[in-house]
Amino acid sequence: MNKISLQGLRDLATDEYIKPQIDYGIFLVATRISEEKMDDDEGIKFRMKFSHIDQIIDLRENKDIKFAKGKSDSQQYRFLIINKLGEDEYHNYMGWLKSNIEKHTEEYIEQLDKIL
């Protein structure tokens, strides 16, 4: 038996109530992030990193469930960084940004003081 270890999946906010006793199909996109390796159960284990949810379907009524897709501030900021610098530079930029938080917050406070 082969296995997939899925990493990076967070809570998903839906616009609709999720009913009990109903099966839902969740279609997601994930990328393989490692070479396969043998698992103790004599199968292969693949590590995959979650990218995004593409669709949620109520399987009983065969209808789409609406959900927040890339609408949080952090998701939008991540997309802006990746579009500007590329996926490979995301973690480097975030490290740089965190190391400069004092400077950025001071500049922001100065701007607020000028407005008020």
Among candidate residues 76, 70, 77, the one with its CA nearest the CA of residue 94: 77
**Cα dihedral across residues 99, 102, 105, 108: positive or negative:** negative
Distance separating alpha carbons of residues 89 and 83, to the nearest angstrom: 10
What is the share, in percent, of the chain residues with pLDDT greater than 90? Answer: 25
Half-sphere exposure of 8 (CA within 13 A, CB side): 14
Determine if residue 57 is left, alpha or beta; phi over 0 gives left, psi from -120 to 50 gives alpha, anything else beta: beta
Q: pTM of the entire structure?
A: 0.47
Residue 38 has a pLDDT of 72
Residue 97 has a pLDDT of 93
Distance separating alpha carbons of residues 48 and 85, to the nearest angstrom: 23
* Per-residue pLDDT tens digits for 97-110: 999 999 999 999 99
* Per-residue pLDDT tens digits for 63-112: 988 876 666 677 778 878 888 998 899 999 999 999 999 999 999 999 99
**Cα dihedral across residues 36, 4, 25, 77: positive or negative:** negative
- Residues β-bridged to residue 7: 49
User: Between these two residues, 57 and 36, which has the higher pLDDT value?
Assistant: 57
Exposed e or buried b per residue across 55-78, where buried means at least 16 C-beta atoms within 10 angstroms of its C-beta? ebebeeeeeebeeeeeeeeeeeee
